[in-house]
Structure 1
Amino acid sequence: MNNIANLKRQSGNNQEAIDLFKRAIKEDPNLVQAYTRVAANSLAINDLGQAKSFAEQALQINETTAGVNEILGIIFQNKNNPTKAIEYYQREVEIYPLAGNSLLNQGLLLLQQVQPKAALESLAKASAIAPSERCSLLLAQTHQRLGQFKEAITEYKKLNIYQSNNKHIPFNLGLSLLRIGENNDAIRAFQVAVQIDETFVDAWGNKGSAHKREGHNKEALAEQTKL
């Protein structure tokens, strides 16, 4: 029954999978993986109460069950309780140091809690396990927050700013380039930002500042007219 439930889960039939996992639990109340699967599938259908209940029951059976603390972390993150979420993500990493998703989510929350040094440590570990665009973006933002502009630029350049619809990515790349004196590269980054949003006043202003630093007074004046 547990195996059939797993097949249902893999095919995206979350509610059917939940029902089958619950039947498996009735047959074997100590089948910890079934509790974990009910929690995970409940989370997938946004039933946070049921997800939390079965995750906590799984931990009562085996407090070192991999994946359960991550589920609880996601639940509390969704409930806007970052302190509790971070606590569960940290427990997950202690049990399973290669829990990249827990490290990534923990890094995001620490950054939002204005703890950039702790965020950097978590995100660097997540990137080493499973590099991703999301992780590079968070690392770039963290380095920028810490004033580590060269490192921020390295991470921003891992993203394809020409295919992004997020104007803040090229804009923040431009700001970091501006801070280390790479004015012409900053101009190009700000240009991408204003191509995404022609009304982006801050991008026009900083593009003008970069032109002025390079002695491009005519171009700088033209940028000021956009403000």
Structure 2
Amino acid sequence: MHLRRGEVLGLVGDNGAGKSTFVKILCGYQRPDVGKLFVEGKQVHFRSVGDARAMGIETVYQDLALVPQLPVYKNLFLKREVVAGGRLGFLSDGKMRKLARQYLDDIKVNVPSVDAPVERLSGGQRQAIAVARATRSDVKILLLDEPLSAMGAKESALIIDLVRDLSKNRGVSIIVIDHNYAHIFELCDRINVIHQGVVSFDKRVEDTSLEELTNYMVSEYRQQIMSGRGARRTG
């Protein structure tokens, strides 16, 4: 598998194909048994999530990991709070508010106020806040787990625009994991299908179609069923 700078890669596969394991390896949560991982041409060995983050790899999971009762600006700075006051220190809320507003404006994310509790935001706005938190630092690779799940057209458009801006204008490489093939075609430049831990399909979106991808997945499913029946008969 390869990922180009500024590219949005869609990752598709049935349950158990290896998508989740791959993401855990790439974000440093799990170590690979075999194989090599290269970032910007250099082989890397991640021992923790912190190691992956230090290399500019961030993940936004489907649950977003936001604190609903906290305001937008505090969610943006979770575990990365700005502290002032020397050795004793205290949270610099004013500075965090200002930086949050500047960054959200910079990436064109519109929220009513950085003081608004996240629980009052729409699904699309919450997703945008989670992405903004992940990309606030020097991110090179962003993993998105079903970013358009259960969203309406207006909210989906917000995330699609954000993904395009991050990839095309900022050079962030993005991997999108989604079971909805229509979402993959809306968001991505290229599609990979993982089957039993192997990339079995690799095409640019412009060189394939929703119909071809659907037929391919159905064909793989049928082959899997037939091979399972053959194994049972042999046994």
Higher helix share: 1
| TM-score > 0.5 by shorter chain | no
Higher strand share: 2
Question: Greater relative contact order (Cα 8 A, min sep 6): structure 1 or 2?
Answer: 2
- TM-score when scaled to structure 1? 0.32
- TM-score when scaled to structure 2? 0.31
Q: Which has the larger radius of gyration?
A: 1
